[in-house]
């Protein structure tokens, strides 16, 4: 109405200018709006899906505290060039792993924020909780660079302003003569923009009618279309890469809409269920999985699909049975995660075939039951053997001792009765019989002691080793009265041991040191201990007869002797007793020595057996 009284030329000029400006403005705004919305929606969907996948793959790394696996999982985002930063936060909020590896802490949020995403002109960031069995193991943070989009829009804005200004100027100058020539290309340009907006076909180009300003506008418009087409192609390539990631997953990935219909299906799902992606799209999820909404683990999905509480929650790990195309069943684990993008709700199911694991668990259970039966049978056999050993010990103790006492007693009586009639050889024979009987008695005593030390219950009490050493020396005072022995006794610990058995250890070790230094005019016996964080080593060292080092492995065997009876008396059971007692205390024994240069005997006990005062 404002142009009613305006001359037609000016009216037409104004109309042409207004129409041109409106068409260009509408075209640019439409393209800008579509580009912004599509880029943002695609970027949010891409980073959300990527976050879901990485979060699902990161549960094991966080659960088993494996930063190396976490860094390898985060390194997968290098396939998305726009992802400039990624981090996994632990359950307590600390940074567990980051991408790139050298990214400083200042470039990442100090603490994880609630789940969701934030969009700004400079970046798109998202926080995704890492869940396992309804437990939040940590948080995944992803940051996508938006600087390219911002720079593009700035260039677009400047270009549009330039195009608008130039176009209006040209239209004003040539409107009187070239109104039709100017208006027709603009109308064609507007028509092209409308067609692109409706069909989303960015391969369409506006027809250029000349080299004037309208032609330049057409070139600029086509250039923008080329850039948008390139951007759309990049987004499609990104989607292709995402598809490749999904298809490389070891789990079947099935995406459904909010009504449970399948809208995506990866290669692993094709192999697992025997259906191609084209065959699976549009089917109900219950075709391959039984209804899950009644399972307590899927309560969040149940509330949403039931039309009640619309809050979305991830399901827990659900063990169930899946169905292949041929009707056969397989055991699977299912985790369903909700995805919200652009107001559209979908559900992503991660399905893992656990048939082999279930079979292995059943085999392990069967083997455990078989092992338990074998252990029970072996225990009964050991109990029977122990009873037989006790019976044997009783027989040795009673049935063998009596004949030995008779032999010893009658040999003594014979020597007293027939002493006058016996010559030196006869007396020596009688003495050999008496010595052999006594030696046999000692051997029986040592065997019984060896058997008793292997079966007796241990009673652990705090014992000062220095006190045991002094007690052994006191009991040997009569034997040591005529000996010249230099004792070097260092500090010894207090430990929780069986006092009777540990007393026997020192009796045997100190007794051996005294016995094998008998031929030394000046005997030296050294007793000490070395304490480390792992164990306590006690040693008894002497300067006696020593032994050949190549026979050291025989020292602690039963009846193993490296010296003849004529040199040093003994039954060869004492060191075997030492080893058995120390082993029952969780320790170890060994020895070092050289012939005629003395020997050192060691036994080591766990450091944890030391009393608190010594520790």
Identify the CA nearest to 527 among candidates 594, 482, 471: 471
- Mean predicted confidence (pLDDT) in 12-36: 73
585 within a domain of the structure (yes/no): yes
**Cα gap 189→200, rounded to integer Å:** 16
- Mean predicted confidence (pLDDT) in 580-587: 88
Residue 300 confidence class, pLDDT cut points 50, 70, 90: very low
217 within a domain of the structure (yes/no): no
Q: Can you give the pLDDT at residue 180?
A: 58
**Cα gap 31→12, rounded to integer Å:** 28
Domain's final residue, options 124, 159, 194: 159
471 within a domain of the structure (yes/no): yes
Mean pLDDT computed over every residue of the chain: 76
- Mean predicted confidence (pLDDT) in 54-80: 80
User: Is pLDDT at 569 greater than 60 in this prediction?
Assistant: no
Q: Which of 11-25, 370-384, 412-426, 520-534 has the highest mean pLDDT?
A: 520-534
Residues 263 and 380 in one domain: no
- Mean predicted confidence (pLDDT) in 492-520: 87
CATH number of 581's domain = 3.30.565.10
Q: Which domain holds residue 574?
A: 458-612
Residues 339 and 398 in one domain: no
Domain's final residue, options 337, 353, 369: 353
Residues 363 and 272 in one domain: no
- Mean predicted confidence (pLDDT) in 400-411: 66
Pairing mode, strands 485-489 and 523-531: parallel
191 within a domain of the structure (yes/no): no
572 within a domain of the structure (yes/no): yes
User: Is pLDDT at 327 greater than 90 in this prediction?
Assistant: no
**Cα gap 121→10, rounded to integer Å:** 43
CATH number of 254's domain = 3.30.450.20
Q: Can you give the pLDDT at residue 337?
A: 78
Pairing mode, strands 95-99 and 116-119: unpaired
Residue 304 confidence class, pLDDT cut points 50, 70, 90: very low
Q: Can you give the pLDDT at residue 79?
A: 76
Residues 376 and 492 in one domain: no
Identify the CA nearest to 67 among candidates 107, 101, 114: 101
Residues forming beta bridges with residue 542, ordered by sequence position: 525, 599
453 within a domain of the structure (yes/no): no
Q: How many CB atoms are closer than 10 A to CB 128? A: 25
- Mean predicted confidence (pLDDT) in 35-57: 78
Instruction: Supply 283's token pair.
Output: 């089917």
Can you spell out the DSSP letters for 488-536?
Answer: EE----EEEEEHHHHHHHHHHHHHHHHHHTTT-SSEEEEEEEEE-SSEE
User: Is pLDDT at 350 greater than 80 in this prediction?
Assistant: yes
Residues 123 and 87 in one domain: yes
Q: Can you give the pLDDT at residue 469?
A: 92
Residue 529 confidence class, pLDDT cut points 50, 70, 90: very high
Residues forming beta bridges with residue 2, ordered by sequence position: none
pLDDT tens, 125-171? 888 888 877 788 888 888 887 776 667 677 777 877 787 777 777 76
Residue 7 confidence class, pLDDT cut points 50, 70, 90: very low
Residues 305 and 405 in one domain: no
Residues 519 and 552 in one domain: yes
User: Is pLDDT at 119 greater than 70 in this prediction?
Assistant: yes
Residues 334 and 375 in one domain: no
The DSSP 8-state label assigned to residue 207 in this structure reads P
pLDDT tens, 202-234? 777 777 777 777 678 778 878 887 888 778 777
Q: Which of 17-21, 51-55, 248-252, 361-365 has the highest mean pLDDT?
A: 361-365
Q: Can you give the pLDDT at residue 243?
A: 65
Residues 323 and 381 in one domain: no
Q: Which of 12-21, 339-348, 416-425, 461-470 has the highest mean pLDDT?
A: 461-470
Q: What percentage of residues in the chain have a pLDDT greater than 70?
A: 74
Q: Can you give the pLDDT at residue 5?
A: 61
pLDDT tens, 598-610? 889 999 999 989 8
- Mean predicted confidence (pLDDT) in 297-326: 60
Structural domain total, the chain = 4
Q: Can you give the pLDDT at residue 303?
A: 46
Helix (H) or strand (E) holding 448: helix 424-455
Residues 364 and 337 in one domain: no
List the single range of 227-231, 417-421, 443-447, 456-460 with lowest mean pLDDT: 443-447
Domain's final residue, options 118, 140, 159: 159
Q: Can you give the pLDDT at residue 9?
A: 46
Residues 339 and 464 in one domain: no
Residues 321 and 411 in one domain: no
User: Is pLDDT at 559 greater than 70 in this prediction?
Assistant: no
pLDDT tens, 187-198? 677 777 777 777
User: Is pLDDT at 236 greater than 70 in this prediction?
Assistant: yes
Backbone angles phi, psi at 524, to 5 degrees: -125, 120
115 within a domain of the structure (yes/no): yes
Q: Is 533 helix (H, G, I), strand (E, B) or coil?
A: coil
401 within a domain of the structure (yes/no): yes
Pairing mode, strands 116-119 and 123-132: antiparallel
């Amino acid at each position: 109405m404002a142009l009613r009284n305006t001359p037609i030329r000016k009216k037409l000029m104004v109309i042409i200018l207004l129409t041109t400006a409106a068409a260009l403005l509408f075209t640019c705004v439409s393209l800008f709006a579509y580009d912004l919305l599509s880029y943002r929606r695609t970027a949010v969907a891409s980073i959300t899906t990527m976050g879901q996948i990485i979060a699902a793959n990161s549960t094991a790394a966080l659960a088993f505290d494996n930063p190396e696996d976490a860094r390898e999982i985060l390194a997968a985002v290098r396939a998305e060039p726009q992802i400039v930063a990624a981090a996994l936060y632990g359950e307590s909020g600390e940074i567990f792993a980051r991408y790139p590896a050298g990214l400083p802490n200042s470039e990442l949020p100090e603490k994880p924020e609630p789940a969701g995403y934030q969009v700004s002109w400079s970046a798109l960031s998202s926080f995704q909780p890492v869940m396992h069995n309804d437990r939040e193991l940590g948080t995944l943070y992803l940051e996508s660079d938006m600087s390219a989009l911002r720079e593009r829009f700035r260039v677009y804005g400047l270009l549009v302003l330039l195009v608008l200004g130039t176009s209006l100027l040209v239209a004003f100058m040539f409107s009187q003569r070239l109104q039709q020539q100017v208006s027709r290309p603009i109308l064609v340009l507007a028509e092209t923009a409308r067609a692109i907006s409706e069909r989303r076909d960015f391969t369409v180009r506006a027809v250029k009618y000349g080299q004037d300003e309208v032609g330049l506008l057409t070139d600029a418009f086509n250039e923008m279309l080329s850039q948008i087409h390139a951007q759309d192609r990049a987004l499609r390539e990104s989607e292709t890469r995402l598809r490749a990631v999904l298809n490389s997953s070891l789990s079947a990935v099935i995406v459904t809409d909010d009504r449970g219909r399948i809208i995506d299906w990866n290669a692993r799902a094709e192999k697992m269920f025997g259906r191609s992606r084209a065959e699976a799209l549009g089917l109900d999820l219950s075709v391959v999985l039984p209804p899950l909404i009644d399972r307590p683990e899927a309560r969040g999905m149940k509330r949403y699909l039931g039309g009640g509480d619309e809050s979305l929650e991830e399901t827990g790990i659900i063990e169930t049975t899946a169905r292949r195309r041929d009707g056969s069943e397989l055991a699977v684990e299912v985790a369903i995660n909700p995805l919200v993008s652009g107001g559209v709700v979908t559900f992503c199911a991660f399905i893992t075939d656990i048939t082999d694991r279930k079979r292995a668990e059943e085999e392990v259970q069967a083997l455990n039951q078989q092992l338990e039966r074998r252990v029970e049978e072996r225990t009964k056999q050991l109990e029977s053997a122990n009873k037989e050993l006790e019976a044997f010990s009783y027989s040795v103790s009673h049935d063998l001792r009596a004949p030995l006492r008779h032999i010893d007693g009658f040999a003594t009586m014979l020597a007293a009765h027939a002493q006058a009639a016996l010559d030196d050889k006869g007396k020596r024979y009688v003495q050999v019989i008496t010595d052999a009987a006594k030696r046999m008695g000692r051997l029986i005593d040592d065997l019984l002691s060896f058997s008793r030390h292997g079966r007796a219950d241990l009673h652990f009490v705090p014992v000062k080793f220095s006190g045991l050493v002094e007690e052994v020396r006191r009991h040997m005072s009569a034997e040591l009265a005529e000996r010249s022995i230099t004792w070097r006794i260092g500090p010894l610990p207090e430990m929780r041991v069986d006092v009777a058995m540990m007393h026997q250890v020192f009796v045997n070790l100190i007794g051996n040191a005294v016995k094998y230094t008998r031929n030394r005019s000046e005997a030296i016996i050294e007793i000490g201990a070395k304490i480390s964080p792992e164990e306590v080593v006690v040693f008894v060292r002497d300067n006696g007869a020593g032994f050949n080092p190549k026979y050291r492995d025989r020292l602690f065997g039963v009846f193993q002797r490296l010296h003849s009876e004529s040199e040093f008396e003994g039954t060869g059971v004492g060191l075997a007793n030492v080893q058995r007692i120390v082993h029952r205390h969780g320790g170890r024994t060994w020895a070092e020595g050289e012939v005629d240069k003395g020997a050192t005997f060691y036994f080591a006990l766990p450091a944890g057996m030391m009393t608190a005062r010594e520790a």
